[in-house]
Amino acid sequence: MPMTLLSRRATIAMLGLAGLPAAAAAQTATEAPPAAPAAGDTRGRPVGRVRIEQTQAAFIGSVSWGRGTLTFRGRNTRFRIRGLGAGGIGLATMTAVGDVYNLTRLSDFAGAYAQARAGAVLGEHQIQGGLWLINPNGVQINLRPQRRGVALQLGGDALHIELTR
């Protein structure tokens, strides 16, 4: 068998395997948010909404950057988002909308968030589930992303959100 045919088959097989975690993530993405602190617990009821535009470049490690808008208590607040992570390969842009849970003060929104990701993007075609972000203040964000680019994503990120007003 010629090496190029073998390489193509191996690549297709790897793409298929990479899609398995994404399919699992898609099944769990609509579940209730992760456990939150008891004080002021508002699980099941979003208290705000976000819209994010982000770019991610990955080759084993990943870096991401972008901006967004938080709508909370009838006011729009702009923010910047930066991140470093592990896992994946490629370059993709993401536009996402989502719901915010457990936010009682605007100042609790800023800070570090953890994110797990799995999916594949080829052009405008994607295999993915939703994304859950959580910070040490108990603020949770459930994102519904639309990605474009060429990327295999399987890993985790540490993200930092900074309010820019």
98: left (phi over 0), alpha (psi -120 to 50) or beta: beta
Instruction: List the structure tokens of 39.
Output: 């004080």
pTM for the whole thing? 0.70
Range of the structural domain that residue 47 is part of: 3-33+42-163
Rounded CA separation 138/140 (Å)? 6
pLDDT tens-digit series, residues 51-106: 999 999 999 899 999 999 999 999 999 999 999 999 888 998 999 999 999 999 99
Based on the structure, what is the number of domains in the chain? 1
pLDDT tens-digit series, residues 3-33: 343 333 333 333 333 333 333 333 333 344 4
Rounded CA separation 43/33 (Å)? 7
pLDDT tens-digit series, residues 142-156: 998 888 888 877 778
Q: Name beta bridge partners: 101.
A: 140
Rounded CA separation 58/64 (Å)? 9
